[in-house]
A and B are shown apart, each in its own frame.
Chain A
């Protein structure tokens, strides 16, 4: 680049020196020129060997949608026309505030009257082995883009570390350029700082559909390669091949120069409302600054900063007051928008709209009648409108009900009442997109007697598929019937308009694979569900996808998370399995030792024929399990919605009345079915004769042995409402008893609603239905049994053994200890 002479002899104006030829530095100069073009003589130093360009457009350049010339903001002519001297490709190496000079790496020195630091940010490089290998780069400037383009020309695999805005734009570009891209992201969802779980999930799906591999919850252990990068190794051991690694895990304000010069530096260079640093002759602007405790990583705040800075430089100070930011992802075809605070919390109300068929998720967060945040996926047309309402702190109470439908709806025709809006629709306006049902059809179906949501769903199919038009249908019911609307079947919880059976059916029919997916496709009205629906969905998915679904621990009740029963004082009780109620001296000794070693205040023989050790502290649970595991005892699942005990009597081995080996059968049944997750707890008993000492006729599955075989009983219950079992059938052999039991458990697992015991389930479904499935339909029974055993092949890992070996140790230890006089330990 051609340099102008740095100091025209005759020029006696104050000299403004700018370090950083980037977005903020040049914008500040533009703002200054606009106010007073002749006041300062200006010199700009830039580390990059080029003119001022639009950094945010590097992503489209990488994606091949733009070239460098398209993204230049100020070309060479701008510098010469405005008499600005540009020193490009020679970074400033030191500032001497006493002498008021700056010196570049090549030794060039220049004095200043006012200095402006606009050095931007440095990419954060995670300190893993191999980070300095050739082929490992950041994504910050045009040189990085050139490196990526060269790598893409050679083809092969690329790994992008970091699933934030920058990383995803890099991944998108590389993937368009033909590389096979894997994104490694530490957090469970993409762009977690801008998006909530629901939107993050949609984004992940969309990117995967475009051929990228997205690994969330993945931590980089090292970058491997000899002379250049060859791959990335994850902490859990996987090796991903790569000829290019892009690190996009975050940025740090570039403060080294300022710190060396002795300026006040916190997270960034500290400035006041006029962008003045701790030295009145030195200003700073852009990503390198910290204002009022905030640092920024987006351009919008820079524009505000540059305005206040220029006002100050021409002595008309206005003052910068911080910025609220919004984000958009620049990946063509994927629309994502977020703004403000979407963490929810008190007094915050979520308004959620999901439209699965269009892949839309919108969430607006309102507090005290004002919008405080918004997350939009798939349809971002109203992003700016929400952002505007947010920034202006506009009272939205009048728009509340229509807000989520967007500006066109909410502002249109004064129809602020949703009922009025529905009333105004014409008869052939489409209500239900999934099933193509028009308003007229819904109204006539209501007129013909469908007086509840469920009845409408059953007759004209409106709202029967994805449920996104439920609100419209409800309004039509209210309009047509007034107070005569009948309430529908119980919904799963207040987060959805669907009942348990609908949700379950759709999970299987649509092959859904995760909780966020269910919530999106079935239009949950909350962003991440509640303590009723999360555990239920977790169970339904687990049941539908044995061996495949990854259990969501945070969607489980504490007992199932800690594999023990929480007691009212916050301690836990531990119940090891005693197969069929049998035990031996070794087990009893181990239990006795545990009781003494951990000072358990009580041991109790349960009604399920095993021992319950009470008063164990959470911290001690893994050690207790390890001691019990050492003699072969495993978790009794006394805490779970799972098989509890198999109670037996002594049977033909010892009892004079015994007809069959009830104890032996009980042990076999327990070995077959332990460890399986169920809608609710499940108890089995086997009695050796009709005297029924094991109380088999009040169990979920009870067997009463008789001379000619085994009577199978189902659906019994003790408890508040005692219910004796229904007789299912009689079988001749022990093997058949086992097979029928497995089939029955699987039918219960597949058909009962979460938290529904067998008794209410059977009363609801009818014993005839159970008989038809288990007794009359031999092939169906066999298929149920096979599905149960298949799912069991994944579930019989002793959770205690895993925990005793240190798995998820964090659940059992406090994060820190605080000793008030001392310190954190």
Chain B
């Protein structure tokens, strides 16, 4: 249920396991919402800290996504680039409630702005 704090973006099974879907934010950048093999959801700005690759299009493994453009690994929970690479993508708090995926309203606005 959408509330002052949380945006309800749909059922969790609309996101493929080890995959991602996006949320368009009017007047801002897309948010990528990921679902891991273990069924957790994470939301990040859909923009790699390296050269703005679309993280929603990457390969998800463990708790990270590999950017489709140059294969940087980005942590889904902190948005930090892993390994040798340096950089960070804004994250948005996300959770599942009763099968629905909720993302934080304020976080979405801040990240997408």
Q: How large is the interface on B (under 10, 10 to 19, 20 to 34, 35 or more residues)?
A: 35 or more
Given A534-B59, A815-B23, A823-B2, CB of A345 within 8 Å of CB of B76 = yes
The reply on A187 being an interface residue by CB < 8 A is yes
The reply on A66 being an interface residue by CB < 8 A is no
A371 to B40, CA, bound (A): 19
A566 touches B57 (CB 8 A): yes
A526 to B51, CA, bound (A): 28
A707 to B10, CA, bound (A): 66
Contacts of B38 in A (CB 8 A): 192, 196, 342-344
Query: Interface centre among A528, A535, A555, A814, by most B CB within 10 Å?
Result: A814
A186 to B26, CA, bound (A): 34
Q: Using an 8 Å CB-CB cutoff, how does the interface string of B61-72 with A read, 1 for contact, 0 for none?
A: 111001011010
Given A197-B37, A823-B2, A824-B7, CB of A350 within 8 Å of CB of B14 = no
Given A815-B10, A815-B15, A824-B9, CB of A527 within 8 Å of CB of B37 = yes
Residues of chain A from 116 to 142 with CB closer than 8 A to chain B in the complex: none
A192 to B38, CA, bound (A): 7
A344 to B38, CA, bound (A): 9
Closest residue on chain A to residue B98 by CB atoms: A267
Contacts of A348 in B (CB 8 A): 63
The reply on A557 being an interface residue by CB < 8 A is yes
B33 touches A818 (CB 8 A): no
A566 touches B68 (CB 8 A): yes
Closest residue on chain B to residue A569 by CB atoms: B52
B75 touches A345 (CB 8 A): yes
A492 to B76, CA, bound (A): 24
Given A344-B36, A345-B76, CB of A535 within 8 Å of CB of B59 = yes
Query: Per a CB cutoff under 8 Å, which of B53, B75, B78 touches A570?
Result: B53
A818 touches B7 (CB 8 A): yes
B62 touches A820 (CB 8 A): no
Query: Interface centre among A186, A189, A535, by most B CB within 10 Å?
Result: A189
The reply on A583 being an interface residue by CB < 8 A is no
CB distance from A37 to the nearest CB of B (A): 42
A815 touches B22 (CB 8 A): yes
Query: Per a CB cutoff under 8 Å, which of B26, B39, B68, B98 touches A820?
Result: B26
CB distance from A198 to the nearest CB of B (A): 9
B26 touches A819 (CB 8 A): yes
CB distance from A78 to the nearest CB of B (A): 38
CB distance from A537 to the nearest CB of B (A): 12
Residues of chain B from 15 to 35 with CB closer than 8 A to chain A in the complex: 15-19, 21-27, 30-31, 33
A529 touches B61 (CB 8 A): yes
The reply on A9 being an interface residue by CB < 8 A is no
Given A531-B71, A570-B53, CB of A555 within 8 Å of CB of B16 = no
Closest residue on chain A to residue B38 by CB atoms: A343
The reply on A810 being an interface residue by CB < 8 A is yes
Contacts of B60 in A (CB 8 A): 554
Q: Using an 8 Å CB-CB cutoff, how does the interface string of A798-825 with B read, 1 for contact, 0 for none?
A: 0000000000001000111111100110
A557 touches B7 (CB 8 A): no
Contacts of B27 in A (CB 8 A): 820
Contacts of A186 in B (CB 8 A): 13
Contacts of B33 in A (CB 8 A): 815
A810 touches B37 (CB 8 A): no
B30 touches A554 (CB 8 A): no
Contacts of A188 in B (CB 8 A): 17
B13 touches A810 (CB 8 A): no
A382 to B36, CA, bound (A): 27
Contacts of A555 in B (CB 8 A): 59
A554 touches B109 (CB 8 A): no
Q: Using an 8 Å CB-CB cutoff, how does the interface string of A547-573 with B read, 1 for contact, 0 for none?
A: 000000111111101100010101000
CB distance from A187 to the nearest CB of B (A): 7
B24 touches A814 (CB 8 A): yes
Closest residue on chain A to residue B78 by CB atoms: A346
Given A346-B80, A820-B109, A823-B2, CB of A570 within 8 Å of CB of B52 = yes
A570 to B21, CA, bound (A): 14
A824 to B54, CA, bound (A): 22
Residues of chain A from 332 to 346 with CB closer than 8 A to chain B in the complex: 342-346
The reply on A193 being an interface residue by CB < 8 A is yes
Contacts of B23 in A (CB 8 A): 814-818
A487 to B44, CA, bound (A): 39
Given A346-B77, A555-B59, CB of A528 within 8 Å of CB of B37 = yes
Closest residue on chain A to residue B10 by CB atoms: A815
Contacts of A281 in B (CB 8 A): none
Closest residue on chain A to residue B58 by CB atoms: A558
CB distance from A550 to the nearest CB of B (A): 14
Contacts of A197 in B (CB 8 A): 37
Contacts of B2 in A (CB 8 A): 823-824
The reply on A631 being an interface residue by CB < 8 A is no
Contacts of A820 in B (CB 8 A): 25-27, 109
A817 to B7, CA, bound (A): 10
Query: Per a CB cutoff under 8 Å, which of B9, B17, B63, B68 touches A557?
Result: B68
A296 to B14, CA, bound (A): 26
The reply on A530 being an interface residue by CB < 8 A is yes
Contacts of A823 in B (CB 8 A): 2
Residues of chain A from 751 to 807 with CB closer than 8 A to chain B in the complex: none
Closest residue on chain A to residue B53 by CB atoms: A570
Contacts of A527 in B (CB 8 A): 37, 62
The reply on B108 being an interface residue by CB < 8 A is yes
Query: Per a CB cutoff under 8 Å, which of A529, A561, A816 touches B9?
Result: A816
A350 touches B62 (CB 8 A): yes
Query: Interface centre among B24, B37, B58, B59, by most A CB within 10 Å?
Result: B37
A818 touches B108 (CB 8 A): yes
Closest residue on chain B to residue A553 by CB atoms: B16
B14 touches A810 (CB 8 A): yes
Contacts of B10 in A (CB 8 A): 815-816
Closest residue on chain B to residue A192 by CB atoms: B39
Q: Using an 8 Å CB-CB cutoff, how does the interface string of A176-197 with B read, 1 for contact, 0 for none?
A: 0000000000111100110011
Contacts of B25 in A (CB 8 A): 817-818, 820
A810 touches B63 (CB 8 A): no
Contacts of A192 in B (CB 8 A): 38-39
Contacts of B63 in A (CB 8 A): 343-346, 348
Query: Per a CB cutoff under 8 Å, which of B37, B52, B69, B73 touches A196?
Result: B37
A820 to B109, CA, bound (A): 8
Residues of chain B from 61 to 105 with CB closer than 8 A to chain A in the complex: 61-63, 66, 68-69, 71, 73, 75-78, 80, 98, 101
CB distance from B35 to the nearest CB of A (A): 10
A343 touches B17 (CB 8 A): no
A113 to B8, CA, bound (A): 43
CB distance from B94 to the nearest CB of A (A): 12
Given A193-B39, A344-B36, A568-B51, CB of A554 within 8 Å of CB of B7 = no
B17 touches A187 (CB 8 A): yes
Query: Per a CB cutoff under 8 Å, which of A345, A346, A554, A810 touches B18?
Result: A554
A343 touches B40 (CB 8 A): yes
Query: Per a CB cutoff under 8 Å, which of B9, B68, B77, B108 touches A345?
Result: B77
A814 to B27, CA, bound (A): 15
CB distance from A655 to the nearest CB of B (A): 42
A105 to B83, CA, bound (A): 64
A813 to B16, CA, bound (A): 13
B16 touches A810 (CB 8 A): yes
Given A196-B37, A816-B10, CB of A528 within 8 Å of CB of B77 = no
**Can you offer 17 A-B residue contacts whose CB atoms are under 8 A?**
A188-B17, A267-B98, A342-B38, A343-B40, A343-B63, A344-B62, A345-B63, A345-B75, A530-B61, A535-B59, A553-B16, A554-B18, A568-B51, A570-B53, A814-B30, A818-B7, A823-B2
Residues of B within 8 A of A (CB): 2, 7-10, 13-19, 21-27, 30-31, 33, 36-40, 51-54, 57-63, 66, 68-69, 71, 73, 75-78, 80, 98, 101, 108-109
The 8 closest A-B pairs by CB, nearest first: A531-B66, A345-B63, A344-B63, A815-B21, A558-B57, A554-B18, A816-B9, A343-B38
Q: Can you add 5 more A-B contacts, CB < 8 Å, to A346-B75, A554-B16, A816-B24?
A: A187-B17, A189-B37, A557-B59, A818-B7, A824-B7
